[in-house]
């Protein structure tokens, strides 16, 4: 079975997709807040890990259907 662009958009618009999107945004906010905490500012490795996790969430939220399917933008 091949996922269609309509399926992809419908899933993100569904109650589950809307909830997942909000959960990802909330998680990103939590990670970003942790990265700005004074106790971690001098730990460059941990800061890089948290930054990468924030970027990954952004990528999940902003990936187009074509990108998700391995096609060009």
**pLDDT at residue number 14:** 97
Number of helices and strands in the chain (H, E): 4, 0
pLDDT at position 43 over 90: no
Q: Map tokens 């998700």 to a residue.
A: 68
Tens digit of each residue's pLDDT (9 = 90 or more) over 44-64 = 888 889 999 999 999 999 999
Q: Which long-range contacts (CB under 8 A, 24 or more apart) does 61-67 make?
A: 61/21, 61/24, 61/25, 65/5, 65/8, 65/9, 66/5
C-alpha 41/C-alpha 54 separation (Å) is 16
Q: Cβ–Cβ contacts within 10 Å for residue 50, how many?
A: 19
**pLDDT at residue number 73:** 60
Tens digit of each residue's pLDDT (9 = 90 or more) over 18-40 = 999 999 999 999 998 888 877 77
């Amino acid at each position: 079975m091949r996922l269609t662009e309509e399926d992809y958009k419908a899933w993100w618009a569904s109650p589950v997709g809307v909830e997942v999107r909000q959960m990802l945004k909330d998680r990103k906010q939590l990670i970003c807040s942790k990265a700005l905490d004074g106790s971690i500012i001098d730990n460059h490795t941990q800061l890089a890990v948290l930054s990468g996790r924030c970027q990954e969430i952004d990528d999940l939220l902003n990936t187009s259907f074509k990108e998700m399917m391995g096609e060009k933008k």
